[in-house]
A and B are shown apart, each in its own frame.
Chain A
Amino acid sequence: MIRASLTAIAMAAFAVAAPAAAATIEFSPAVVFDMGGKFDKSFNEAAYAGAERFKKESGVAYREFEVTQEAQRDQGLRNMARRGANMIIAIGFAQATPLEKVAKEYKHARFTIIDAVVDLPNVQSVVFKEHEGSFLVGMAAAMASKTNKVGFIGGMDIPLIRKFALGYVEGAKFVNPAVEVLQNMTGTTPAAWNDPTKGGELARSQFDRGADVIYAAAGGTGVGVLQAAKDGKKFAIGVDSNQNYLHPGTMLTSMVKRVDVAVYEAFKSAQANKWKGGISNLGLKEDGVGYSLDDHNKSLITADMQKRLDQARTDIIAGKLKVTDYTAKK
């Protein structure tokens, strides 16, 4: 369903666009992953899944690069463009500045950036309303909590993660104003995105302080949080990808961010020459974010919970319920 509706939106958006001038040039897609690496089970892996799906369906192989150094962002994007890639997807907000430079130099190439806005005619910016999805899982956490304490574990203390955290807190307080939200960030270096050990420790300490549901928005670090929840028989909430399958029974839900769909759609529309620059801001309305409900967690989300979540979802889409966007505050 998500797939269908997003496709519809994408089609609607792209239908207005005239086919790109470079119609005869061979379609050559590429992805530049961010530092977390394409197998982070979360953000980058969602992008990888989208690219793989496109490859499987269309039979068109794509080039890829994983950034390991700051300077390689620029280098990776430039290399792709120079070697003839004409549909390049940059994953992660940190690529915005290098992308701006490279996109100006390679005007014939099309770029899509996830999680940031670059205002150029040959760049499509896809951002997500993570706060809306986080609001819903915050509600789920507060409803599932018996101790009235829920936890949040972020990766690094950057605006994007504060956006997740704020939405989560608002959602939890919406259900129960008395609920206490414990918050921790994993670290101050990029290692914080890939430190399951520390994620596990933080989770255990939050459990010890009384929390019984923890939301991990920390990339690969989250794997440790989810594991700790399983070991302690408490609940955890996954992020970006649907992580419910990792530990059925203790995975309350996942805040899914459809990076996979965004990547897939970008490739697909570009192949069909329907790709168009501009900004798309995907929230609950566009099914760009949401909470996951599948066989692995359907016993944990009661009918009553689901009803309240769906109601909140409808209200947010209708604008009746406002969730604060941390990054829009200033």
Chain B
Amino acid sequence: MSAASPTALPRWVDVVALPAVNLLAAFLLSGLVVVAIGEDPFQAMGLLVTGAFGNAESIGYTLYYATNFIFTGLAVAIAFHAGLFNIGGEGQAYIGGLGVGLVCLWLGDLPAVLVVPLAILTGAAFGAAWAAVPAYLQAYRGSHIVITTIMFNFIAASVMTYLMVNVLIRPSQQSPESREFATAATLPRLHEIADAVGLEITASPLNLAFLWALICAALFHVFLWRTRWGYEIRAVGANETAAIYAGISPARIIILAMAISGALAGFVALNELMGVHHRIILNFTGGYGFVGIAVALIGRNRPLGICLAALLFGALYQGGSELSFDMPNVTRELVVVIQGLVILFCGALENLFRGRIAAYFQRPATAGAVS
């Protein structure tokens, strides 16, 4: 990807200027779309931004969405580093949620210091197990991981629908959702924590899972660039033949990388179930697993980049919903168009302006070399 760029740009250009230009182009085009439906583009973009960052509550929502995207973005990225395309984040998050939910429902009476780590471990284990099956099939049977992980999303959805409708549903109600978790089995929200120390913050779904997401991002970095396993994963991803020559077993690494990937995806359930809904509900994954692919791509598969990309997507989700709220003409489909344009420019067309900007930066350099 960007590492193979022939023109070495100053780092700030690569990290700040280029994404900013791409983002600007995306917003420009979105503005034209807004004009086309007869609304004021400046007002729309203003609403998008204030909707995402305007006050404590909207920032809370933005960060809450970002939490999900950090988890799924990291999940996709670790598989990428091993040369694998994990499209199964959605299903892994769903099954991870089953693990988290079962712990919270059955052991909710235990003190929080026990339940929360147990839920984290179980969620990770369930997610990892769900990812390990396609990984095994890829490693030892050669079944392509893209196909199998997609299929596993549907299996996960079917399993969860069956369990929610027939087994875990709270009796005598329409909606397929479980009973509520005990308080010990929920993650405190930011405004509740602030309340406890005497600060007042507007209520939002932002909860402790956000902190765990940041910790995961840090651990991700340490694991991938500071441990032997991380090195082996990157080696297999970069060149499998060379990795075998170096004595690394690709099959083992595929399963390892996918298991970690599934575990990270499973953490979405911490944010959604333990942090927000406090019960198991259908479809709490809401497409976060798929958006994680875009987050990982835009974040260049680096933890810091993923956190920033997750923030961008969180802002688009939250700002987008505020936008359609205040401008009824801007339907939710149009919000998806705007989000799509941002993905297009930041992800797929990232080289659109690179050449021109590079040329601008190289001119003085070449001139200097001649003289």
Contacts and interface: CB of A to CB of B under 8 A. Distances in A.
Interface of A: 37, 63-66, 68-72, 74-76, 79, 93-94, 96-97, 115-116, 156-160, 187-190, 327, 330
A190 B164 CA distance: 14
Nearest to B157: A188
B161 A65 contact: no
B332 A66 contact: yes
Given A116-B175, A188-B157, A70 B286 contact: yes
B321 A72 contact: yes
A187 B153 CA distance: 12
B332 A71 contact: no
B209 to A, nearest CB: 13
A159 B165 CA distance: 7
21 contacts: A37-B332, A68-B332, A70-B272, A70-B284, A70-B286, A79-B322, A79-B325, A93-B174, A96-B175, A97-B175, A97-B277, A97-B281, A116-B174, A156-B282, A157-B161, A159-B165, A159-B169, A159-B176, A187-B157, A188-B157, A330-B172
Given A188-B157, A330-B171, A69 B165 contact: no
Nearest to B158: A188
B61 interface: yes
B286 A115 contact: no
Report, nearest first, the 10 A-B pairs whose CB atoms are least far apart. Answer: A188-B157, A188-B161, A93-B174, A188-B158, A93-B175, A189-B157, A69-B286, A66-B332, A68-B332, A158-B176
Contacts of B287: 69
B223 interface: no
A64 B174 CA distance: 24
Interface of B: 61, 64-65, 154, 157-158, 160-162, 165, 169, 171-177, 205, 272, 276-277, 279, 281-284, 286-287, 317, 321-322, 324-325, 328, 331-332, 335
B277 to A, nearest CB: 7
Contacts of A187: 157
Nearest to A38: B331
Nearest to B287: A69
Contacts of B272: 70-71
A182 B57 CA distance: 49
B172 A158 contact: no
A76 B161 CA distance: 25
Given A158-B282, A188-B154, 18 more contacts: A37-B332, A65-B324, A68-B321, A69-B286, A70-B272, A70-B286, A71-B64, A75-B61, A76-B325, A79-B325, A93-B174, A96-B175, A158-B161, A158-B165, A160-B174, A188-B157, A327-B174, A330-B171
B328 A64 contact: yes
B168 to A, nearest CB: 13
A175 to B, nearest CB: 28
Contacts of B157: 187-189
Contacts of A115: 174
A116 B176 CA distance: 12
Contact of A70 (B158, B160, B277, B322): B277
A66 B333 CA distance: 10
A116 B172 CA distance: 11
B294 to A, nearest CB: 16
